[in-house]
Amino acid sequence: MGGPGLAQTLLAYELIDELNLIEFPLVLGAGKRLFGSGTVPTGFEILSAQTTTKGVVIRTLRPAGRPVLGTAPPPE
């Protein structure tokens, strides 16, 4: 358990083995970004993902080093 500040610090020092994210499908004000400015770019491998009947997304991610950047095709 932890918040955005703790997650960003642990990622910066490569101290995270797995990251469990639970995302709820609603917006309540501005909030705080989990991966805001100053976060070290990190690629993730998805270990598991599921969506509940209410639309809650539960994912387990493992850091996979620096992200590989590319370009996306333009929308059709």
The pLDDT of residue 1 is above 80? no
Per-residue pLDDT tens over the stretch 15-51: 889 989 898 888 787 766 777 777 778 889 999 999 9
DSSP class per residue in 8-64: HHHHHTT--S-EEEEE-S---SS---TT-TTPPP--EEEEEEEE-TT--EEEEEEE-
Q: What percent of the chain has pLDDT over 70?
A: 95
Choose the weakest-confidence range: 8-17, 35-44, 60-69: 35-44
Q: Could you tell me which residue, 75 or 52, shows the higher pLDDT?
A: 52
